[in-house]
């Protein structure tokens, strides 16, 4: 994950550390995830001035950790789902997304996971087949990509994403990012 100086400043403030020490904690992915998990135990509000300045990448990971806590998933699963949120705009920016049914790629699976979690209503209006059809494609692609743990919990992850979107309007943030 690429962090901005505002991200480091936010982390330092939340952990009561210097920015240098906070930066050092980001070097190891497991340590970093543990720190973010600890930070996410406290309520995160968008009104907080420092939150408004952090990157979507960091914000997404904090909120994914917060919303997935009741499910007791490991932090690597949460980090992966937050990664899917962050790459969605890259995939969305392409002129078209191919429908891969037989052996869907990991990229297509990530795309459908976020689409079903954040844009369910729009998606349902624009497609002819059931959203469940695309959910199965996403699940199969995650299994092919050695992401069986995410595939096994795909229904719960979509529900987590929907709750996140309801509270923090991720779909709007993503659309703003695509348009900029």
Q: Which residue has the higher pLDDT, 67 or 124?
A: 67
| Domain locations along the chain | 5-179
The tokens describing 43, both together, are 């309520």
Give me the percent of the chain exceeding a pLDDT of 70.
91
What pLDDT, on a 0 to 100 scale, did the predictor assign at position 122? Answer: 77
Give CA–CA dist 150/144, Å, rounded.
11
pLDDT interval class at 95 (50, 70, 90) = very low
Pull the structure tokens for residue 13: 């403030």
Q: For residue 94, is pLDDT > 60?
A: no
| DSSP 8-class letter at 164 | H
pLDDT band at 103 (very low <50, low <70, confident <90, very high): confident
Asked if residue 156 has pLDDT above 60, the reply is: yes
**Cα–Cα distance between 64 and 122 in angstroms, integer?**
22
**For the residues 173-178, what does the mean pLDDT come to?**
80
pLDDT at residue 173 greater than cutoff 90: no
Angle at which helix 5-15 crosses helix 56-68, to 10 degrees, equals 40
Could you tell me if 3 and 26 are in contact, meaning their C-beta atoms sit under 8 angstroms apart?
Answer: yes
As a whole number, mean pLDDT of residues 101-124 equals 86
- pLDDT above 90 covers a percentage of the chain that reads 63
Report the distance separating Cα 85 and Cα 100, nearest Å: 20
Give the pair of three-digit tokens for residue 106.
């990991």
Which letter does DSSP use for residue 146 in this model?
A: T
């Amino acid at each position: 994950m690429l962090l901005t100086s505002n991200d480091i400043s936010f982390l330092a403030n939340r952990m009561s550390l210097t920015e240098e020490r906070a930066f050092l904690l980001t070097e190891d992915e497991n340590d970093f995830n543990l720190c973010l998990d600890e930070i996410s135990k406290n309520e995160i509000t968008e009104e907080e001035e420092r939150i408004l300045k952090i990157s979507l990448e960091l914000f997404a990971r904090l909120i994914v950790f917060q919303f997935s806590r009741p499910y007791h998933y490991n932090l690597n699963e949460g980090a992966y789902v937050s990664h899917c949120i962050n790459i969605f705009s890259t995939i969305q920016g392409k002129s078209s997304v191919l429908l891969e049914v037989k052996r869907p790629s990991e990229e297509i699976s990530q795309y459908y996971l976020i689409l079903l979690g954040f844009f369910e209503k729009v998606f349902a209006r624009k497609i002819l087949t059931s959203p469940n059809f695309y959910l199965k494609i996403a699940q199969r692609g995650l299994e092919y990509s050695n992401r069986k743990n995410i595939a096994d919990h795909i229904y719960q992850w979509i529900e987590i994403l929907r709750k996140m979107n309801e509270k923090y309007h991720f779909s709007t943030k993503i659309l703003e990012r695509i348009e900029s």
